[in-house]
Chain A
């Protein structure tokens, strides 16, 4: 183990979390990410029992989630494995796939709501997309406030927003602004 002390994307020693009325915004610094790509027309592998999803979708199995990023490309995420060499772990699972370590390429912010239906209000301020494209099981990449983000809809009350790590402060501010306004009107 290295004796260097890591910091989060927001520059702190511990992940940030904040409540806004019915909403909670939480930095998930322990999420491990890796891109997985295959040759055109190759058969998609099934790492950790995950069925790699089709365009616009995500699949989850235990602590692992896969979401589609482009043709023949996916992102695999794992909870609580941020400190490990996740790319190497996945490579062991799928020796033939092309993997690129992405854990520190991105930062993941989880937005959770108290009741069904509240996430929709957030999404309609973040993404210029029909909500039908953002229902649980869907994952998209889109533009938000001049940033390129992934939205992974994990459940009715939970969406993960993923952005390039170096934009963490900007994205947090943008989401905080939205949630403050929505939280206030509860």
Chain B
């Protein structure tokens, strides 16, 4: 155990957890990393490429090494950073990326092969022979690629999402962020402050220090008290703002219950979409390291992280707390860690400082003008080599803290491609004035990292944000804090013969960068792709700038000349589940239920999805074992007596106004202005390019009142385009459009006995052929005064009506009709029989109206009026369309036992089956109980002139070839007498 006094942990609350099957204990407030360190566990994983033993390197989300598989079963999650996992009772974690045990990883052999695995290894090795690409190389690479393993089970957790619209979003809850939030909130702004950590406070949680003559932590508590008492502030811990999008929109993930033992029955995470008028990026800074030979050994970590572990979690980084700890630095902040450790009673070997004139700040030894040039220790650090003026000595050492300075977390400031600029004084990249519009940057995120600077910056930047918001700040004193020493000298890496790691996660060493330089992969973008530097889960948070500096040195350029790195979202990895947010399975997307859904379910109907609609596909009856039996029965019932189908899904648009008739005249390709009151007309709609896009009916209910129906699939787009015509093309027409699809339950009542059945529900309306002829429509009442609309239209080719009633009565009306029609064998039919009936009648639907179809192709060319202008009329007459010779015709197999298959291509007898000899294709096919064989509709070159011809319907995909006869598309009643009966 290496636990020391103090810290922000609750020692009264012990927590049991396991790592690689071994049980350990930690405390409430621990992270998995701090608890492992407290138990003396240094080795926590293996590196990606060389399978080198690795330990915990940082204390935050930038962690490159300590990636673990968290959880078990379906909740197993790979690549979880132990440094941000909050400990809970029963937590179970495993190390990853090793074959066999963590201690004896068989793939450690890769490390011995490292000379062959250098930068660009993949590109160089898997080149030849070419035949190996797919069969040999790809399986090998795939097996080796990737970190951690997946459960391969569905995600059992639920996710939530929400929206926030604050005046000001403060990203980061450290000294600058808290001060900014406080300043803005006191002035009355609506403030959201989000921090990825489990508690707000930022680096103040990791440092000692005083603010306003009191411990900094007291100040944090005070500010949090004040903020949480304000109704205009939303404090969001455990919330990572991962991306900056246009116009002040940010994506953020709140980890709601991941820190609880069983998730507490709550959602796992919430995806917040935050739209902020102003944003302050106070995301702090991330420490960088200094590469030296064998610098990746467990026990070596960032000096600042060591300080966090000591102050916040009361742990020290050695396996044995008597082993001395050393610091390697090029700046004053490294000394701060030494002072902290001394103060905590941890044995300090000393500070190895690369600077010539370095001296101690406290009771510890300083090795000035010295560097660390090597390390020993099989699974964890045991000694380091310190070299001063060419003389080297090995010193016993249980842990080494490395500090190469701090890099501002500019990530979100660069999400709109704003490049940071180099600051030679601070030796770091700081944001330029090119952050996303509305974003200001405060504190360490712009290089003002001392507590004093950060507090002042928080106030200053918040005032700027308030000014932009038009809110007057309330004046208040800036809290007083000490100015920490922060001098730094450029020192980027210790030259070495052995490997010195720059990017731990991707096993990129100084040598790899040298190789990239030699091979002319010098621009940072090339460097990244050649070496994989800065890739994967940490995106180079601890390595990018150092790599750039090494490349600069090799190419004798300055760092800004060498390049800058910018970042894309997300800041840290985001789970797909939370982005999907919300429902899965049956609730994945909305379902629209028809008015007769209850009835259909009670009948055991089989449903099909049509867009969002759930429609009854067919209604199986007892004894029917195959869907065809049900569908044939339903279709035959319509042809022989009467059937009823719920056709509510057809789009219905109410068109009213003085100019409604004129408007429809311009929207439909055929004559619509002459439609009389009380009548319905079939209508074709074209796109402006002259192609057909929808068909339907238009009913004139009153002088200035029409109802347009659209196909089910196009209801939305037709409405949108009609609105376009109304608002954008002919704004002077006085017309109103209202979608009314759901208001009316609509039924097709079709078959020779449809009138007889319908008469039984009509109140007093005469529906004889004389009184209510084909294509008539009327408002009426049924079933004792229920208001209804009746249309005499037919999709099946039979005598048919469509009856509409208020949707709430739809289910009862369906049942009533079936009851009253028992003697007529009144039969409910579904979409499948509907399809059969319309194919038998030769009516087009989506299969025929492909977006490439002209009116002439479906035999309705003459409907497109040349006497008027309507949408698409001019372009429908252009040469290419006018010369189109494909025509919709019907097909019957010569051998009635053979099927006609949708998608088959039509080939003249004797011709080869290839594109050159293509004559058209089958668009729809079904078994027709009426014809007694399979039948099809399709487009055939000059089809209208080829009746009776034999042709081949070929389906080379499945080796089918069926001889078919070209027939009229109207298999039923080609003269249309039945529907006028």
Contact = CB atoms under 8 A, between A and B. Distances in A.
Interface of A: 1-9, 11, 29, 35, 37, 39-40, 72-73, 85, 98, 100-106, 124-125, 127-131, 145-147, 164-170, 173-174, 177-178, 181, 184-185
Given A104-B742, A127-B163, A7 B811 contact: yes
Given A3-B783, A4-B783, A147-B590, A129 B743 contact: no
Nearest to B231: A117
A145 B736 CA distance: 28
B741 A11 contact: no
A129 B738 CA distance: 25
Given A166-B741, A170-B590, 15 more contacts: A2-B784, A4-B783, A4-B809, A4-B813, A5-B812, A98-B736, A104-B744, A128-B163, A128-B275, A146-B589, A166-B595, A169-B593, A170-B592, A177-B583, A184-B266
Kindly list the 7 A-B residue pairs having the minimum CB-CB distance in the complex, ordered from nearest.
A105-B743, A104-B807, A2-B786, A130-B165, A166-B592, A6-B808, A37-B736
Given A7-B808, A128-B163, A181-B267, A39 B587 contact: no
A109 B273 CA distance: 25
B946 interface: no
Interface in B798-844: 806-809, 811-813, 816
A174 to B, nearest CB: 8
A2 B163 contact: no
Contacts of A166: 592-595, 613, 648, 741-742, 807
Nearest to A88: B787
Query: At the interface, is chain B mostly helix, strand, loop or mixed?
Result: mixed
A105 B589 contact: no
A11 B597 contact: yes
B736 A128 contact: no
Name, among B275, B594, B784, B808, the residue most crowded by chain A CB atoms within 10 Å (CB to CB). Answer: B808
B163 A125 contact: yes
Nearest to B788: A2
B831 to A, nearest CB: 16
B740 A100 contact: yes
Contacts of A6: 806, 808-809, 812
A39 B658 CA distance: 9
Contacts of A124: 162-164
Name, among B595, B743, B745, B786, the residue most crowded by chain A CB atoms within 10 Å (CB to CB). Answer: B743
A3 B781 CA distance: 12
Nearest to B782: A2
B785 interface: yes
B743 A165 contact: yes
Contacts of A127: 163
B656 A100 contact: yes
A175 B660 CA distance: 39
A102 B736 contact: no
A36 B736 CA distance: 10
A104 B743 CA distance: 4
Interface in B723-765: 734, 736, 738-745
Contacts of A7: 598, 808, 811-812
Contacts of A101: 740, 743, 806
A167 B556 CA distance: 66
Contacts of B785: 1-2
A4 to B, nearest CB: 4
A106 B742 contact: yes
Nearest to B592: A166
Contacts of B590: 145-147, 167, 170
A139 B160 CA distance: 24
Given A2-B786, A100-B656, A167-B592, A128 B273 contact: yes
Name, among A102, A168, A185, the residue most crowded by chain B CB atoms within 10 Å (CB to CB). Answer: A102
A129 B163 contact: yes
B873 to A, nearest CB: 26
A30 to B, nearest CB: 11
Contacts of A11: 593, 597-598, 811
B816 A129 contact: no
Contacts of A170: 587, 590-592
Contacts of B658: 39
A146 B160 CA distance: 15
A1 B613 CA distance: 31
B165 A105 contact: no
27 contacts: A2-B783, A4-B783, A4-B809, A6-B806, A7-B808, A39-B658, A72-B736, A73-B736, A85-B787, A100-B654, A100-B743, A101-B740, A102-B740, A102-B743, A103-B743, A104-B745, A105-B807, A125-B160, A127-B163, A129-B165, A131-B165, A167-B592, A169-B591, A170-B592, A177-B582, A178-B160, A184-B266
A52 B782 CA distance: 34
A98 B656 contact: yes
Nearest to A5: B812
Contacts of B582: 145, 174, 177
A48 B388 CA distance: 94
Contacts of A131: 165
Contact of A164 (B597, B741, B809): B741
Contacts of B265: 184
B365 to A, nearest CB: 54
A5 B595 CA distance: 13
Contacts of B612: 167
A168 to B, nearest CB: 8
Nearest to B654: A100
Given A4-B812, A124-B163, A131-B165, A103 B591 contact: no
A98 B806 contact: no
B120 interface: no
A169 B808 CA distance: 14
Nearest to B161: A125
B262 to A, nearest CB: 14
Contact of A8 (B594, B743, B808): B808
A129 B592 CA distance: 25
Contacts of B165: 129-131
Contact of B657 (A98, A165, A178): A98
Nearest to B587: A173
Contacts of A3: 783-784
A9 B612 CA distance: 16
B162 A125 contact: yes
A181 B161 CA distance: 12
Interface in B53-94: none
Nearest to A85: B787
B643 to A, nearest CB: 20
